[in-house]
Chain A
Amino acid sequence: MYQTTYHRASTVDEAASLFAKGTEAKFLAGGQTLLPVMKQRLASPSDVIDLAKIKELIGVEASGDTLTIKAATPHYDVATSDVVKKAIPALAYLATLIGDPAVRYRGTIGGSIANNDPAADYPAALLALDATVKTNKRSIAAADFFKGLFTTALEDGEIVTAVSFPVPAKAGYSKMPHPASRFALTGVFVAQTKSGEVRVAATGASQNGVMRVPAIEAALKANWSPAAIDSVSIPASGLLADIHGTAEYRANLVKVMAQRAVAAAG
């Protein structure tokens, strides 16, 4: 009743063609979402196509002002990469905060953003750093990639191959973890580009998934300091509320985490 066929693809092209052959195929990266869902019998794919061993999908590269993290690179590798730590230390730090060690050894950046959990950490970094999502078909700006809860611009069968980040002048991330899941109750990524543009993104807060925070961006554009955010008021409307945090609490966290992220960014 719950038969599934497991395939280990060795190239992106092979993965795409396997997907096309399946009646209800799913890509598997680190398996941190798909496997629990399958165990709960909430998903029953005909074919599971494992991307985790595809060599062209693994690794980190820095070139000029761009850092590229390939899609099947696990969080642990990002967290400990000297290349990432040098180019965008806030991104390496963010990866240290994802889940627990077991999650970080298996979970991947491509899997995380393709799933687009509204409380995942990476989407905040992508949006704040104005990253570009590379797929086997095209390039998509982060702002166009995330489309609300668990929804992205990816088409059926499209495979994320890498994420490229412009190296910012300054960046910082601060996160209040959910006490049970350790996802972000609210996490805020702040970045100042080399041309002086300020971008701030919050995850875990909005009912529509990762979001920019224009009020904080404006305050930081005028004065890049935690104190600049003191007078900003974040409305609670449209924010998530659950047993671990009211909407008002999350509104407060957007502000407080932004201040701490700025302090961390220096």
Chain B
Amino acid sequence: MGVEGIGARVVRKEDKRFITGKGRYVDDIKLMGMTHAYFIRSPHAHAKVKGIDSSAALKMPGVVAVLTGKQLVDDKVGNLICGWAITSKDGSPMKMGAWPAMAPETVRFVGQAVAVVIAESKNLARDAAEAVVVDYEELPAVADMHAAIKAGAPQLHPEAPGNQVYDWVIGDESATDAAFAKAANVVKLDVTNNRLAPNAMEPRAAIADYDAAEEHFTLYTTSQNPHVARLVLSAFYNIAPEHKLRVIAPDVGGGFGSKIFIYPEEMVALWASKKVERPVKWTGDRTEAFLTDAHGRDHITHAEMAFDTNNKIIGLKVKTYANFGAYMSLFSSSVPTYLYATLLSGQYNIPAIHAEVIGVYTNTTPVDAYRGAGRPEASYLIERLMETAARQLNVDPAELRRTNFITQFPHQTPVIMAYDTGDFNASLDAAMKAIDYAGFAARKAQAKSQGKLRGIGVSCYIEACGIAPSKAVGSLGAGVGLWESAEVRVNPVGTIEILTGSHSHGQGHETTFCQLVADRLGIPISQVSIVHGDTDKVQFGMGTYGSRSAAVGLTAILKAMEKMESKAKKIAAHALEASEADIVIENGEFKVTGTDKAIALPMVALAAYTAHNLPDGMEPGLKESAFYDPTNFTFPAGAYICELEVDPGTGKTSFINFVAADDFGRLINPMIVEGQVHGGLVQGIGQALLEHAIYDANGQPVTASFMDYAMPRADDVPSFNLSHTTTLCPGNPLGIKGCGEAGAIGASAAVINAITDAIGKNNLEMPATPDRVWRTIHAA
């Protein structure tokens, strides 16, 4: 309804402050008496901390304190936790070593903090940090997953023999073996899913402010989920009780998953603020971001797919090694298990699946959820397998997919997920039409005449979003429920505040959430404001990740709106002397249907707050809240097709066209959706062509700056050709599926399938750098 309602391409309200430099990020905040923290980090991948001599540093000007891991232990500050319990196939719980916020005895990755200097300025703290002498005894380190699980490898944690965190399985092994026994064809593939560094534009930061009189803490932090941060900080770390800890996540400059987790720095800042009785600020720099922000992906997988004589898939076997780095980060355990293996059916009817996932410790930065989190790894694997199968079976890759598409919904896969709806043929049709798939052979021949190798690659992805039904995730080991909360406050003059547990760090909630209100009440979005990111203002909420804010967060707002509207209609009916059932809401007015009798929203609101003339027994005020727990995941899906050329002389890839046909259910703001798809596609292409977080054999990071780690730039990616096919999600009243991760999930396989098509070789690992492509072309 209206120009600012659902489906309108409304310009983002928040952009004025972002593009004029008026955003308020953690580092913009300055408190009276604030001190600055600088962390002393291990230069070794694995070492004993034999001693820390702070005496010289403590004598330097402006130094307030030097605090060490041992003092954390003395103060009984808890270790970092992993919030999802995974059970190995032998029934044993996952095996985890302790992760103290600063290492008192042993460091296990380069960049792990051992001490912190608190000083009057950041530079003074940094100067003093250089005067702190840490006595390390180097230990043998292991960075490679396969090396880490070999006998005799350096051991990271005594709790996890063989560096193995878990050996987890899903699916029916005997049914899968039986399918393979009768297969007409078996397609085998080994793939590596390369490790990525998230690189949000704003590095992580924290300010902790302890009020000794009130025994109260305030933490400003770069968080995607401030309430979860408060819960974890208070429940597990023994720093502050929940009612004495306020967590504020103000403007946050991108997260991509990396700001979900509770990190050592904010824990130490809180603890240090109480010790020095002054506010403590820490702002990470880019190097610290490369070394300490949780990395993403990092799988090595062998997979086999069995086909019958009609090219129908009859079975899938997968064995994946997942690198967790040196410690188990907050949700790391769930990423290569319930967020990965449950999507291994892809868009296809696969009657039998069996997957085994082995989690491995290495002396590298911890790995956790990064845009897509498990689902890109699953989608990449399945879509590389389908492409490989099409080549081996000598059928068109699009046709092989159609032969195996799920077309009846709901569909129960053999790996937990029950797909609610979708139309996979429709999105593939749209993508093939957009790229003129039929005309590709002629274009390839034309390119060949000019010395270029042209290829086309299809990727049909599906993901599980709208995370997540609490009961379901609880039964799978999650330590939290994944509902969302919302509150609608109609002010006495009729303006509206929406308080949401979702957190916007680039998603545009301040616009899209207002559009729902505008749609329902027929008022301009300028009459609505969105409040989020402050545990003192907003009731408990779960935050933003897993493409959940529209499907779950906005539905919670809808539920609260319905309660508010119901009460407002009663007030309006009372004022208009009409029946409540006859009241309709249009253009900001409550009208008696079929008459010209109406009362404007501000008058209804005023009536609610003056309470002079309310229906008998009605409480004053106009404010409602709701908690919404989804009944199922949502299943965004789509088809991406990439057409590109490879220069045989250099191995360099150039894009010709990239089409994306997505089914996200209902779109609230198509412009914002397109932005999400663009960003996701760039991250997917970045993984396919450029990005790789690399360690040498001793665990030293090789790519800890933008001079070595290739982030995609504008001229590395094509213009995108986007379209949408729509099946409404039946699981929520707005029919929303979510759009935040799709691009990153589907793009990589389309690119690698296209390059391997162009060069006529099937084995090509990501990132497909020019060097690697050239060597693959010229390999025997």
Contacts and interface: CB of A to CB of B under 8 A. Distances in A.
Contacts of A222: none
Interface string A223-256: 0000000000000000000011110110011001
Nearest to B709: A180
The 6 residue pairs across chains A and B that have the minimum distance between CB atoms: A180-B710, A179-B710, A256-B649, A249-B771, A1-B127, A245-B771
Given A1-B130, A252-B774, A256-B650, A243 B692 contact: yes
Nearest to A257: B650
Interface in B641-684: 649-652
Given A180-B706, A243-B708, A2 B127 contact: yes
Interface string B677-705: 00000000000001010100000001100
B127 A181 contact: no
A249 B716 CA distance: 21
B770 interface: yes
Nearest to B774: A249
Given A180-B710, A249-B771, A249-B774, A243 B703 contact: yes
B769 interface: yes
A183 to B, nearest CB: 8
A244 B652 CA distance: 12
Contacts of B710: 179-180, 244
B775 interface: yes
Interface string B119-159: 00001001100100000000000000000000000000000
Contact of B708 (A180, A185, A253): A180
Residue picked from B651, B690, B694, B771, most chain A C-beta under 10 Å: B771
Interface of B: 123, 126-127, 130, 649-652, 690, 692, 694, 702-703, 706-711, 716, 769-771, 774-775
A180 B775 contact: no
Contacts of A253: 650
A176 interface: yes
A173 B307 CA distance: 52
B775 A246 contact: yes
5 contacts: A180-B690, A243-B703, A245-B771, A246-B775, A249-B774
A2 B123 CA distance: 9
A185 B710 CA distance: 13
Nearest to A250: B771
A244 B702 CA distance: 11
Interface in A127-182: 176, 179-181
B391 to A, nearest CB: 26
A176 B127 contact: no
Interface in A65-111: none
A243 B775 CA distance: 13
Contacts of B703: 180, 243
A117 B637 CA distance: 48
A256 B123 CA distance: 48
A181 B690 CA distance: 12
B774 A243 contact: no
A244 B775 CA distance: 12
Nearest to A186: B650
Contacts of A246: 771, 775
Given A176-B770, A243-B702, A244-B769, 4 more contacts: A179-B710, A179-B716, A244-B771, A249-B774
A181 B649 contact: no
A201 B25 CA distance: 49
Interface string A32-57: 00000000010000000000000000
Residue picked from B703, B711, B716, B774, most chain A C-beta under 10 Å: B774
Nearest to A100: B713
B708 A176 contact: no
B339 to A, nearest CB: 29
Interface of A: 1-2, 41, 176, 179-181, 185, 243-246, 248-249, 252-253, 256, 259-260
Nearest to A245: B771
A179 B706 CA distance: 10
Nearest to B692: A243
Residue picked from A181, A244, A248, most chain B C-beta under 10 Å: A244
Given A1-B130, A246-B771, A252-B774, A180 B650 contact: no
Contacts of B774: 249, 252
Nearest to B128: A1
Nearest to B716: A179
B704 to A, nearest CB: 11
Contacts of A256: 649-650
A259 B647 CA distance: 14
A179 B127 contact: no
Nearest to B648: A256
A176 B716 CA distance: 14
Residue picked from A2, A181, A185, A243, most chain B C-beta under 10 Å: A243
A176 B650 contact: yes
Contact of B775 (A41, A176, A248, A260): A248
Nearest to A252: B774
Residue picked from A2, A179, A181, A246, most chain B C-beta under 10 Å: A179
A103 to B, nearest CB: 12
Contacts of B650: 176, 252-253, 256
B710 to A, nearest CB: 4
Contacts of A252: 649-650, 774
A243 B127 CA distance: 33
A181 B707 contact: yes
A179 B686 CA distance: 11
A260 B649 CA distance: 10
Contacts of A249: 651, 770-771, 774-775
B769 A179 contact: yes
A252 B27 CA distance: 47
Contacts of B771: 244-246, 249
Contacts of B692: 243
Contact of A180 (B130, B649, B651, B707): B707
Nearest to A241: B771
Contacts of B130: 1, 41
B775 A179 contact: no
Residue picked from B127, B692, B706, B708, most chain A C-beta under 10 Å: B708
A248 B694 CA distance: 21
A240 B472 CA distance: 54
B652 A176 contact: yes
B426 to A, nearest CB: 37
Contacts of A176: 650, 652, 770
Nearest to A248: B775
A48 to B, nearest CB: 17
A260 B652 CA distance: 14
A2 B702 CA distance: 27
A184 to B, nearest CB: 13
B451 to A, nearest CB: 12
Contacts of B707: 180-181
Residue picked from B650, B690, B707, most chain A C-beta under 10 Å: B650
B690 A179 contact: yes
Contacts of B127: 1-2
Nearest to A255: B649
B634 to A, nearest CB: 36
Contacts of A259: 649
A256 B451 CA distance: 14
A244 B709 CA distance: 10
A243 B711 CA distance: 15
Contacts of B716: 179
Nearest to B649: A256
Contacts of B690: 179-180
A38 to B, nearest CB: 13
B652 A243 contact: no
A2 B126 CA distance: 11
A196 to B, nearest CB: 28
Nearest to A183: B707
A45 to B, nearest CB: 17
Contacts of B651: 249
Nearest to A181: B707
Contacts of A243: 692, 694, 702-703, 708
A185 B126 CA distance: 34
